[in-house]
Each structure stands twice: as structure tokens, then as C-alpha cells.
Structure 1
Amino acid sequence: MQDLISNNSSRMELSMRLMDVVALELAGAVASQLHFQVPLLDAEPIHAVLLHFCSALAFLLFPQLELYGSWRGRSLPDLFLRLAASWALVLMIGLFFSFMIHHVGHVSRLWLFYWYAIGVAMLMAYRSAVYFVLRYLRTKGLNSKRVVLVGYGTTGQELHRRAHDLDWAGYDVVAVHAAPEDACKITDPTIVRIPDLQKIHEYVVANHIHEIWITLPLMESPKLQQLQYLLRNTLVDIRWAPDILGLQMLSNKMTNFLGFPVVDLNQPISSGLNGIVKDIFDKVFALVALILLIPLFVVLAVLIKQSSPGPIFFKQPRLGLNGKKFNVYKFRTMKVHEEHGTVTQATKNDPRITPIGAFLRRTSLDELPQFINVLLGDMSVVGPRPHALQHNELYKDLLEMYMLRHRVKPGITGWAQIHGHRGETDTVDKMAKRVQFDLHYIQNWSLWMDIRIIVWTAFKGWTGKNAY
């Protein structure tokens, strides 16, 4: 019973391929009823030809597009995205075929759209059912894969923990090869300890092991090479998860560089195509905001001029993307004074703050001119707040990850600010907490996350109690 599904995987794949064909044929018939209000055979003949051609093509191409491999341990949305893209590719080939036979002009675009949408829905629906049935069986101990773990450092322990906690993934770590200093960290008495690398292949063959997970660090390359040789005849899946969890950088994304696979350690998620999307969103949002805020800007400008002599706007140099200097704009909230080469943060009941300035600081309205910085390309609507240059010099040596904040554009509001970490940072602990939230934002950025932060800022404001 344990290996019932895995032993019949080829039959299961064939069954799913046939199910896909049935689902696509049925989807085409339903689309015909919706659009033509007649059975497909009574519609223009090219539609029936296209239906059968694309269904047969899906039967042949879907396996090549990895739609029938094991999806345990992987997310359902990833499967759906691959499925939708694969079905779209098949339809495009089908359209090209209809063009080659000079009938593309007779194909109904609306029928094609209905067929695509209904087909995707049907393929996803029955795959979801299969996916969750298999997940349920794995939680009951059926169809699980037996795993040997090589290396028990930070990554090895984390993989073991996840395999144990995510029982629906169906992985059972049964044996571990660990360095002497890590062996004591194995607390499960049922786990077999494999003392020597030379014994791994023998254990795998004798105990029906399905996979080997290698989590040795990069610095142990001689051991990795030895292991590769020792496992050359081991006919099971072997995965290597380099022990890089301790490497606290922005990302560990694998890319191709000059034909070599390389790992980008400090490339933020909001770069490349994502960066273009974020930049367009920033510019549009800032332009609309500035247009809507013109009446408020006029009122605040009058009040600032009346409060004390001096300019309406305050500007100060800050570090932007990759350390490039720029002038940040704010409404002036203090009386004009000399800093004498140092920046003194505002404190509670600071005598330099004007009455209107106190209101602007408390409500964060003093930050609104930074939409001009966004239009100029120096800032984003959302990102880590830019600090005074003197603070950068101070904290870059006190907090080892501090300067990574400057791998993205600074923002008007940010993840740290909506969680209350704004205002005076008079201790290293306060700054460390802010940097921790900033790095979380950079490592987990999404456009939806930006929108959430903006909405939170608009409706709740910045919740910090230490903004003076």
C-alpha cells in the first residue's frame, strides 16, 4: 500500500493525459453551446477540426511541458500558472495550423476565448481534486517518499523540520549522515545515523530509499565531489540544497551569467521587470497625488510662512538607490537654524519645532512634498525611509546589514513605518528593529504589498508614538 501510487505512476499519468483530452473536448462543446447556441458539429467545420487537433496536441505536448511530474512539496498556484500557459501555447499552435490551411478567418475569436477559459477551469478543477486527495493520503502515511539527508547544518535541520511538519508533502526522513559536531542535534531516536559517506549508497539500495537530499555547505566542495562519485550508480532522485540560510543577503536567486549558473546574493526582488512595474506605478501614483494635493499644498504653504520666517520647503541630502545622493523635500517644520555639520534629531517638546510644524510631523503631512522626489526618480512611494547622511555613517558599522537598505529606492512610507518604527532612533536597538522591517520588505516585495502599505498609511497613518 505504501508504494501503490508510485508503482503505478505511468498508468496514472496516462489516465490524466486521457482525462485532459476529455476535459478539453467537453470544454469545446460547452463553448459552442454558449457562443453558437448549437452543437459544435453544426458550427463552422474549422471549429471541430481545431478542437480535435488541439486536444490531440495537448495529449502529446503536455508531458513535455512537465504537467504530469510530481508536484509534492510545490505550490498549487505554480501548477495552475504552468497549466494556463501550456494550454495557451497549444491554442496558439492550433491557430497557426488554421492559418496554414487558410481557415483562420473562419475561427470565432469569442468561441476560442470561451474554450480557453472553460478548458483551464476544467483542467484546474480535476487537478485540484487529485492534488488534495494525494495530500490527504500522504497525511495518512500513504504514498510517502523515504529520504536520506546528507548534512545536518542549518539548512539540513530546517529541511528535516519542514518535511516532518508538512506531512501532506509526503516526505519521510529515515536516515541522516551528519558531521560529528551536528550529530548531537538529531533528536529523533528513530532516525538512522549513517556514519560514513561510503555507506550511503549501500543503505539506499537496501532500504528502498526514494530520494537523497544533500545540504552540505559550499565550503565542503571536496566532500561534495567525493559524494558525487560515490553516488554515481545510485538510481534515485538526488537534490542539493546548498547550506546558504546563514547567508543573510537580499536574495539567493539563481541566474545564468555568461553561460554559468550564478547566485545573485544582493539583487532585490523589485528589480528587472518588477522594477519597471514598480517605477510606472510610482510615477502615476505620485502625479495623481500631487494634482489632488495642490489645494492642501497652498494652505500649508501659507501657514508655514506665517509660523516663522524661512522657506516653505526643507531639503536635505540623503542616500538613494545604490548610495546615490539626492535632496529630499519636506515641508519645513522647524525654525531656521544651523546644524554645524551634525544632524540633531527632533525630540519631544523640541523648541525648534513650530506649532504648525508639530501638527505636520504628528500627521506626517510634512512628508507630502516627497511625491516630487518620486516624480524625479529619486524615491518610491513605498520603501525604506531615507536617513540623514551622518546616521548612515554611524549605523553602517554598528549594524552589519544596514547599507543593504540602499539597494532599493527610499520611500515616502514603508513596512517599518506602518508598524510603528518611525521618528527618533536614539538607540541602536531602535534602528536595528527598523532595519529588520526594511529588509523584510525588500526580500518579500510585491506590488500588492506596496498597495497594502499605501492603504494602511492612508487610513491609519503611521502608528509610531515617537514621531516628534
Structure 2
Amino acid sequence: MRDLIINNSSKLELTLRLLDVAALELAGVIAGLIHFNSSLTEAAPIHTVMLHLCSVLAFFLFPQLGLYGSWRGRALPDMFIRLAGSLALVLLVGLFFSFLIHHVGHVSRLWLFYWYAVGIAMLLLYRSAAYTMLRGMRAKGLNSKRVLLVGYGSTGQELHHRSLQLDWAGYDVKAVHADTSDLPKLGGQTIDVIPDLAGIPDYVVAHRIHEIWITLPLMASPQLQELKFLLRNTLVDIRWVPDIMGLQMLSNKMTNFLGFPVVDLNQPISSGINGIVKEIFDRAFAAVALILLAPLFAVLAILIKRSSPGPVLFKQPRMGLNGKPFNCYKFRSMIVHQEHGTVTQATKGDSRITPIGAFLRRTSLDELPQFLNVLLGDMSVVGPRPHAMQHNEMYKDLLEMYMLRHRVKPGITGWAQINGHRGETDTVDKMAKRVQFDLDHIQNWSLWMDIRIIVWTAFRGWTGTNAY
């Protein structure tokens, strides 16, 4: 009973294919009733020809487009998108056929639209019902697939945890091969342990395993080569899930490079098309902000000049995108002094800070000239705050992930700042927390997230009590 659907998958696929054909035929008839107020037999003959032709095409093309493979463990919206694209392709082929026989002018475009809409609705409706029914069966232990797990590092543990948690996916981990040091992580669960790789093929046959999940780390090349040889005659699904979770990089996006599949480990989400959108938003926002803030800039400039001798703007070298240096602008908040090759962070009661400077720093108004940096392309409105060069040199050796924050442009405000991690970073722990929030923003970036941070900064300001 547990393997009933698995053992009859070919019959189930044939049934689904026939149901799809019936659904498309019925959808075409319904579309005719909606548009022509009559059956298709009273419309131009090309409509009936296209109806039967596209239905037959769907019977043969849908399997090639991956519509009947197992969808367990995969997102349902992805299946809907693939189904919508597949049906659109079939109808386009049918339309092209009508063009070849010089009848495309007789095809009603509105009928075609109705057919597509009704067809998608019907296909999605009964597929959703079938998907829900199968999920319920799997949650009760029926139609589950027996799995052998090779490797029990962080990725292997997470996969095992999810297979237990998401019981509706229908995966039952029966055995594991792991290093001796990883075996205690099983926590006493009743799972068979295969001590040697050589024993895996026999176990697969003896226990009728359906899938093998390999989660060995990238450096386990000798074991992977041995597995490749041992499993050469094993006729079950084998999935390799590389254990790259421990790399802790910015992304693990799979791309194609010179015909090879590659994993981009430190490519931020805010690159490519997203980067263009962010760049346009930044420049436009900075231009508007500078125009609106011009009167405030004039007032602050006068107050700064009257508070102490020296320039209105203070500039200091900072590290930008991919390590490119630039001059970061601020309103001067200290008396003019020499750093003598070092940068001393402002502290509470710092004598170098002028009265107006204390107000500027407390309210973060000293950062406003950085909209000039955004307009020049050196900075972004939202991003990791730029640190002094000396601090970069110091913390890059103290914090493993520190330099990854320079894979994006620095920002005027950021995720760390609105979460209270601003101002003086006199301990490694304070800097580590700031970097953690910076990387979280880079890894989960969206334009909407940037807008939320800007709104928060505008109405509530940066948070934190360690800014002087």
C-alpha cells in the first residue's frame, strides 16, 4: 500500500496526460460558448482544427516540458508557472500552424484568450486537488520514498530535519553513512548506519531505497569519486546537495559560465538588473534630497563656520565598492586637528567636538552631504556604513566575513544603524554585530527593504546610544 502510487507511476502519468487533453478540449468548448454564444461547430472550422491539434500537442509536449515529474519537495507556484508557460507554448504552435495553412486571419484572438484562461484554471484546479490529496497521503505515511543519506554535516542534518518536519513531502530517511564524529548528531534516532561506502549499493537493493541524497562537503573529492564508481549500476534517483552552507558567503546562486554550471559564492543580490534599478533609485533620490535640503544646508554651513575656523565640509578617504577608495563627505563636527596617521573615534565628552557638531552628530545631520557621494556614484542611500581605512585593515583580520560588506556600495543609512548598531565600535563584539546586520541586508536585499529603511531613518532616525 505504501508503494502503490510509486509502483504505478507510469499509469498515473498516462492518466494525467489524458485528463489534461480532456480538460483542454472542454476548455476550448467553454471558450467558444463564452465568445461565440454557440458551439465551435458554428464558428470558422480553424477553431475546431486548432482545438484538437493543440490537445494532441499537449499530450506529447507536456511530458517533455517536465509537467509530469514528481513535484514533492518543490514549490507549488513553480509548477503553476511551468504549466502556464507550457500551455502558452502549445497554443503558439497551434497559431503558427494556422499561419502556415493561411487561416490565421480567421482565428478569433479573444476565443484564444478565453481558451487559455479557462484551460489554465481547469488544469490548475484539478492539479491542486491532486497535489493536496497526495500531501495528505504522505503525511499519513503513504506513498513515501525511502531515502539513504550520505554525509551528515550541516547540510545533511538540515535535509534530515526538513524531511521529518515536512512530512507531507513524503521522504523517509532510512539509513545514513556518516563520519564517526557526526554519528552522535543523529540523537539516538532509529536509523540504520552504513559504516562503509562499499555497503551502500547492497543496502539500496535489500531495502528497496528510492533515492540517495549525497551531502558530502566539496573537499570530500576522493569519497565522491568512490561513490561515483560504486553507484554506477544503481538504478535509483541520486541527488547531490553540495555542503556549501558552511562557506557563509553572500550567495549560492547557480549560473552558467562558458558552458559550465558554476556557483557564485559572493555575488550580491543587488547586482545585474537589480543593481541597475538600485542605481537609478539612488541617483534620483539623492538629486531630489539635495534640492529639498538646500536651505538646511545653507543654515548649517553658516552655523559651522561661526562655531570654529575651518571648512564646512569634512572629507575622509573611505573604501567603496570592491575596495575602491573615495572621499566621503560630512559636515565638519570637530575642530580642525591632525590625526597623525591614525583615526581616533569620537568618544563621550570628546573635547574635539564643537557645540554645533555635537548636535549634528546626535541627530545624524552631519551625514547629509553624503547625498553628494550618492549622486557621484560612490555611495548608495542604503548600505553598510563606510569605515575609516585603518579600521578596515584592523577588522579584516579579526572578523572572518568583514570584507564581504565591501561587495556593495556603502550607504548613508543601513540595516545595522536602524537596529541600534551605530556610533563608536570600541570592541570587536560591537563591530561583529554591525557586520552581521550589514551582511543580512546584503543577502536579503530588495528595493522594498531599502525603502523601509529610508522611511524608518526619516521618521525615527538611527537608533543606539553609543553615538557621540
TM-score normalised over the length of structure 2:
0.89
Rate the CA distance shift 1:53–1:281 in 2: closer, same or farther, 3 A: farther
Partner of 1:228: helix, strand, or coil? helix
How far has the Cα of 1:404 moved from its partner?
Answer: 1.1
Q: Which moved more, 1:257-266 or 1:314-323?
A: 257-266
Write the letter of the residue equivalent to 2:134.
Answer: L
Rate the CA distance shift 1:111–1:201 in 2: closer, same or farther, 3 A: same
Rate the CA distance shift 1:124–1:200 in 2: closer, same or farther, 3 A: same
Rate the CA distance shift 1:316–1:200 in 2: closer, same or farther, 3 A: same
Write the letter of the residue equivalent to 2:220.
Answer: E
Q: Give the corresponding residue for 1:204.
A: 204
| 1:163-186 deviation line (CA, Å, top 9, x unaligned) | 222222211111111222222332
| 1:283-309 deviation line (CA, Å, top 9, x unaligned) | 333334444444444444444445444
Q: How does 1:51-450 map to 2 (within 5 A)?
A: 51-105=51-105, 107=107, 112-113=112-113, 115-450=115-450
Gaps of 5+ in 1: none
How far has the Cα of 1:282 moved from its partner?
Answer: 2.8
CA distance in 2 between counterparts of 1:79 and 1:274 reads: 25
CA distance in 2 between counterparts of 1:107 and 1:307 reads: 79
Q: Which moved more, 1:295-304 or 1:321-330?
A: 295-304
Partner of 1:341: helix, strand, or coil? coil
CA distance in 1 between counterparts of 2:121 and 2:366 reads: 50
CA distance in 2 between counterparts of 1:160 and 1:44 reads: 58
| 1:434-463 deviation line (CA, Å, top 9, x unaligned) | 111222222232334333333433443322
Write the letter of the residue equivalent to 1:318.
Answer: R
Write the letter of the residue equivalent to 1:390.
Answer: Q
Rate the CA distance shift 1:112–1:335 in 2: closer, same or farther, 3 A: farther
Q: Give the corresponding residue for 2:467.
A: 467
How far has the Cα of 1:105 moved from its partner?
Answer: 4.8
Rate the CA distance shift 1:89–1:191 in 2: closer, same or farther, 3 A: same
Rate the CA distance shift 1:163–1:333 in 2: closer, same or farther, 3 A: same
Rate the CA distance shift 1:120–1:418 in 2: closer, same or farther, 3 A: farther
Rate the CA distance shift 1:262–1:52 in 2: closer, same or farther, 3 A: same
CA distance in 2 between counterparts of 1:41 and 1:295 reads: 74
How far has the Cα of 1:377 moved from its partner?
Answer: 2.0
How far has the Cα of 1:35 moved from its partner?
Answer: 6.1
Q: Which moved more, 1:319-328 or 1:189-198?
A: 189-198
CA distance in 2 between counterparts of 1:52 and 1:4 reads: 33
Rate the CA distance shift 1:36–1:461 in 2: closer, same or farther, 3 A: farther
CA distance in 1 between counterparts of 2:138 and 2:431 reads: 45
Rate the CA distance shift 1:281–1:332 in 2: closer, same or farther, 3 A: same
Rate the CA distance shift 1:423–1:38 in 2: closer, same or farther, 3 A: farther
Q: Give the corresponding residue for 1:453.
A: 453
Rate the CA distance shift 1:108–1:190 in 2: closer, same or farther, 3 A: same
| 1:218-255 deviation line (CA, Å, top 9, x unaligned) | 33322222222111111111111222222222223333
Rate the CA distance shift 1:126–1:308 in 2: closer, same or farther, 3 A: farther
CA distance in 2 between counterparts of 1:292 and 1:36 reads: 58
| Identical amino acids, percent of aligned pairs | 78
Q: Which moved more, 1:442-451 or 1:113-122?
A: 113-122
CA distance in 2 between counterparts of 1:122 and 1:304 reads: 70
How far has the Cα of 1:346 moved from its partner?
Answer: 2.3
Gaps of 5+ in 2: none
